[in-house]
């Protein structure tokens, strides 16, 4: 086990700068380093392991306050409590990320419709109420005309989208496993899931997000939902429906 590591060695090995290591020690995220007779900080392998854990938590979007709580569990030396706490944090971040995706999809749809509206009327003189420069000449919640390639956008309002996401989260909580398929993901549900509820939700989703391709399968493997989309929309698929495990 490595011992007596200098701060530069730890910085090089962990990817954190020396200044960051000092700051983490200052706020209690790292325990106080040992000191040489000359006053230089020294570290051991345990510190590198702890920094690897911190780096993973940061990668998952955890704040420093959240990581501080996680390291308290990590110091206990048992993985189970760490996983439990991290799982709760990740679940909250998934929900937040899905909300952000929904908001961006709505905004993208509005921008696409605004761009189209700007081409409909170009007055010779100053801007007017229908040119699209200073006001909305059309409702931005109107569904755009279908194109050969459906836009990666949702026509639901932000309020309706929150309710739709909640419906999906409630249904997807019953997924037993996810499998990778060409262009998407296949979610296999528990036997208790109602196919009527699944069909209803898929039908509603297809009406507002035409860039998704849905297929419901019922066979010896159980009831499953296959969701596909273009490569550009794959992050949306993963955010809403999860990734293969």
SS3 34: strand
What the chain holds in terms of domains, given with CATH numbers, is 5-77 (1.10.1660.10), 89-241 (no CATH)
Sheet of strand 5-6, all strands in order from the earlier edge strand to the far edge: 5-6, 41-43, 34-35
What's the CA gap between 243 and 245, in Å, rounded? Answer: 6
- C-alpha dihedral (88, 92, 94, 100), degrees to nearest 10: -170
Would you mind telling me the total number of residues written for the chain in this entry? 245
Residue 9: Cβ-neighbour burial (10 angstroms; 0-12, 13-18, 19+): middle
Tell me how many degrees the CA angle 89-94-95 measures, rounded to the nearest 5: 100
Q: Give the list of residues 6+ apart from residue 198 with CB closer than 8 angstroms, or none.
A: 171, 189, 216, 223, 225
What pLDDT was estimated at residue 238? 85
Question: What pLDDT score does 140 carry?
Answer: 41
Alpha helices by DSSP H, the chain: 7-14, 18-26, 45-59, 64-74, 79-117, 158-172, 195-208, 234-241
Is the model's pTM score more than 0.75?
A: no
| Distance (Å, whole) CA 191 – CA 171 | 12
Residue 113, judged by CB atoms within 10 A of its CB (0-12, 13-18, 19+), counts as buried
The tens-digit pLDDT sequence of the chain (245 residues) is 567 899 999 999 999 999 999 999 999 999 999 998 888 899 999 999 999 999 999 998 899 999 999 999 999 999 999 999 998 998 888 777 777 777 777 677 677 677 777 777 788 888 887 777 877 654 444 344 444 567 787 887 767 887 888 889 889 999 999 999 999 999 999 988 888 899 999 999 998 888 899 999 988 888 999 999 988 888 888 888 988 87
Largest CA distance in the chain: 81
| Residue 153: per-residue pLDDT | 77
Q: Which contacts qualify for 69-73: CB closer than 8 Å, 24 or more apart?
A: 71/29
């Amino acid at each position: 086990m490595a011992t007596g590591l200098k701060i530069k060695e730890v910085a090089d090995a962990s990817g954190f700068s020396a200044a960051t290591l000092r700051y983490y020690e200052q706020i209690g995220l790292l325990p106080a380093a040992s000191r040489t007779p000359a006053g230089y900080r020294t570290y051991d392998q345990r510190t590198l392991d702890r920094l690897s854990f911190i780096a993973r938590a940061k990668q998952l979007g955890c704040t420093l306050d959240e990581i501080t709580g996680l390291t308290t569990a990590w110091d206990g030396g048992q993985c189970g409590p760490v996983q439990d706490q991290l799982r709760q944090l990740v679940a909250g971040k998934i929900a937040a990320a899905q909300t952000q995706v929904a908001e961006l999809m709505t905004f993208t749809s509005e921008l696409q419709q605004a761009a189209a509206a700007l081409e409909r009327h170009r007055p010779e003189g100053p801007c007017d109420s229908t040119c699209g420069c200073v006001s909305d000449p059309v409702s931005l919640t109107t569904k755009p005309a279908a194109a050969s390639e459906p836009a990666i956008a949702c026509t639901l309002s932000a309020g309706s989208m929150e309710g739709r996401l909640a419906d999906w989260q409630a249904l997807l909580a019953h997924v037993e496993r996810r499998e990778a398929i060409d262009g998407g993901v296949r979610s296999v549900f528990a036997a208790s899931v109602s196919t009527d509820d699944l069909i209803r939700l898929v039908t509603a989703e297809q009406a507002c997000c035409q860039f998704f391709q849905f297929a419901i399968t019922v066979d010896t493997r159980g009831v499953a939902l296959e969701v596909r989309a273009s490569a550009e929309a794959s992050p949306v698929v993963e955010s809403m429906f999860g990734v293969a495990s």
